Amino acid sequence: PDHVDRVLWVNFAAVIWVTKAAVPHLKKGSAIINTTSIQAYDPSVPIMDYAATKAAVNNLTVSLANDLGSKGIRVNAVAPGPIWTPLQPGTRKGETVRDFGADTPLGRPGQPAELAGAYVFLASPKEASYVSGTVVGVTGGKPVF
């Protein structure tokens, strides 16, 4: 239970708290961008608690977009797929490290820098002015629907 509580607080409750604190300071044209995960759509059994919190963030993103749209605030999310970070070799062993991301249609894991464009696009009041309530997948081709 302690692990599940920690995952819930860090991955879901914190998004609510930060949003609640930020909204009074946001002006028309502002954007909130949450980070979710491919795990929300294609959950792995060993991390199902994590996957469930990311699915909750997806739902929260859509709900907030509906709630804040009348204030001119857009709310979206980015769902990374397998992204190569120091977490991967630190939590995986041998073959699983070598095969990380190989199951994507692009056949490889993404790099952290490959996420940037999605966040920049969603933050742009010009390019994404009519984008709200959606999740952009940066997943190497794995579907986020």
Name the residues annotated as catalytic. 50
Sheet strands side by side (includes 74-80): 31-35, 74-80, 135-138
Q: Is 3 helix (H, G, I), strand (E, B) or coil?
A: helix
What burial class does residue 133 get, using C-beta atoms within 10 Å of its C-beta: 0-12 exposed, 13-18 middle, 19+ buried?
A: middle
